[in-house]
Chain A
Amino acid sequence: MTGQTYNLKRYRKWVLPVLALAISVEGAALVCGANIRGLNRGLIQGFSFLGHMFPPDWSAFPEMLKPAVDTIIIAVLGTFFGTIISLGFGLAAASNISPRWLRRLTRGFIRIERALPEIIILLFLVAAFGLGPFGGVISLTIGCIGMLGKLFADAIEEIDPVSIEAIEALGASKIQVIVFGVLQPIIPSIISFALFRFELNIRLSVVLGAVGAGGIGLELYRSFSLLDYNKGLTCLIITLALVIITERFSEFLRSKVKLAGVLR
């Protein structure tokens, strides 16, 4: 008997948090209009809808190749330019090589950029410049700053300060110290992070495409809007292929970078 009371008492401290959690879940569900009945109905509808999507529209494959290539190119260019810009931000945001005011300013800017989803950036670019791949590339480029800027800055801050001093001590100019003392050692990290971001950017490129940047994302969205679900499945398959191939490619390259310390 005593054992049982002890067991129960032990869980008493859980009661309040669990209750709070339950209430907030219920409240949130109310706000969202979530309900089990709707979910059941929706699932049935969803599955029947999925059935309508098969078989994929095989004839549409050839014409989907160009949009797919566009999506890839948008992601590649976005990652390429984004990495270069983020290097600048990373250097400016690293405490061991950047004056304090610059570091705080840059870190603040990076933090703000991180809070901005790329889609929102694209909305503004579309409002200013119109639809098309331009907005896609620019928003991916800017989007890189939040993640890569922080990653680069952290990687730079991890460099042993004496290593940087060693280059300073032999009379190198500031730029030489940065290139040979800071950038050279982190090149494998740069490539690794850039490849990682590239995986993300491919997915983003698809989504941004739907919002107006073009490419396979736009085709996907369009087919769904026009109720051409078979074509939609075709686009979906191509998108999946893109994402999976990119991931394998990125993983492969990243493993090579780790082994070789790479690139001369």
Chain B
Amino acid sequence: MIEVKNLTKSLPNGRKLLDGISFTVNKGEFVGILGASGAGKTLTVRCLNGLLKPDSGSVIVEDDQHVKRDICSISKRQLKKVREKIGMIFQGFHLVKRLTALDNVLIGRLGQINSLRSLVYGFTDKEAEEALSALEKVKIQHLAGARVSSMSGGEMQRVAIARAIFQNPTLLLADEPISNLDPSNAKNIMKLIQPLSKDMPVIGVFHQPEMTAKYCSRVIAIKAGRIIYDGDPKISDELLIEIYGEELRHLEANFFSEVPPVPITFTKTKTELHDRPNL
């Protein structure tokens, strides 16, 4: 369970980036946060695991032992302990490209194992087995020994999800996880994230309202630092325009217009590549 109360953050010149953001997410919910660029979505999510400190407000996270902690006001050491159980995936995946998929998943538990041991010895065989089962959950166990740099975007995001799963988290955060993926991969990733909400609250920032409509259990819309909607994921067109602005009306109109398709003909052009001239 995570309870966000009255998050506020302003720039030095007075402009409010976050203005009283409050919501609560429980286990079983998959929350999608929508909003235009700069509205405050990413800022909110980064406040949820302490990557960003708000000017005021609190973020209360409840762990497995039902202990509640306010992320905005705990010490660095406690924050580290809380973060061990918060999984996060990013738009840019942010894996260590040099290492194999398995190694990247193992990195997930860096916080939970002894620091010295992780540096000198590495990970145990048992942990490697568990990491492999995490990869199985995202269906790329066959790539366990492959370098991440050789993988496609969809595969990389799966490794990132496996890394988060491997933490055995009590909360999962996602910052635009499908924005860098093609539509088919995006769907697959959403299909992987959705069942995770059974065991923990999942909060994700998205730019794709059609995805949140299909896979999320709840949608929160943020505009100019304030929550303007919190409820059913199937949002109306008026709300969409409210979130993203008037331009969307024109875009939508052109996208699904009734114009008949223009026949395209390919003309062959002969390009002659001559050698570099002898000067």
Contacts and interface: CB of A to CB of B under 8 A. Distances in A.
Contacts of B90: 162, 166
Contact of B86 (A162, A163, A169, A180): A169
11 contacts: A160-B94, A163-B94, A169-B88, A170-B84, A170-B86, A171-B83, A175-B119, A176-B115, A180-B96, A181-B96, A184-B98
A166 B164 CA distance: 11
B16 interface: no
Nearest to A172: B110
Contact of B115 (A163, A175, A188): A175
B108 A261 contact: no
A189 to B, nearest CB: 11
B107 A169 contact: no
Contacts of B98: 184-185, 187-188, 261
B187 interface: no
Interface of B: 49, 51, 80-88, 90, 92, 94, 96-99, 107-108, 110-112, 115, 118-119, 147, 149, 163-164, 167
Interface in A103-118: none
Contacts of B115: 173, 175-176
Interface residues of A, number: 22
A173 B94 contact: no
Nearest to B106: A180
B119 A185 contact: no
A259 to B, nearest CB: 12
A168 B76 CA distance: 11
B88 A170 contact: yes
Interface string A150-180: 0000000000101101111111110110011
Contacts, number: 77
A170 B83 CA distance: 5
A114 B155 CA distance: 44
A169 B83 contact: yes
Given A166-B88, A180-B110, A171 B94 contact: no
Contacts of A162: 90, 92, 94
Given A172-B111, A176-B119, A166 B99 contact: no
Contacts of B84: 170-171
B111 A170 contact: yes
Contacts of A171: 80-86, 110-112, 167
Contacts of A167: 107, 110
Given A163-B96, A169-B86, A261-B149, 18 more contacts: A166-B88, A166-B90, A169-B49, A169-B88, A170-B84, A170-B110, A171-B83, A171-B86, A171-B110, A171-B167, A172-B111, A173-B80, A176-B119, A184-B96, A185-B96, A185-B97, A261-B97, A261-B98
Contacts of B147: 261
A170 to B, nearest CB: 6
Nearest to B116: A175
Contact of B94 (A166, A176, A184, A187): A166
B108 A170 contact: yes
B131 to A, nearest CB: 14
Contacts of B107: 167, 170, 172, 180
Sorted nearest first, the 3 A-B pairs with minimum C-beta distance are A171-B111, A171-B84, A171-B83
Residue of A166, A167, A181 with highest tally of chain B CB at under 10 A = A166
Interface string A57-89: 000000000000000000000000000000000
Residue of B92, B96, B163, B164 with highest tally of chain A CB at under 10 A = B96
B87 A170 contact: yes
A56 B159 CA distance: 63
Contacts of A168: 51, 83
Contacts of A175: 115, 119
Residue of A167, A171, A175, A181 with highest tally of chain B CB at under 10 A = A171
A261 to B, nearest CB: 5
Contacts of A185: 96-98
A179 B51 CA distance: 20
Nearest to B50: A169
A165 B51 contact: yes
A184 B88 contact: no
A73 to B, nearest CB: 29
Contacts of B88: 166, 169-170
Given A172-B110, A175-B115, A160 B92 contact: yes
B46 to A, nearest CB: 9
B272 to A, nearest CB: 35
A186 to B, nearest CB: 9
A104 to B, nearest CB: 24
Contacts of B92: 160, 162-163
A169 B119 CA distance: 18
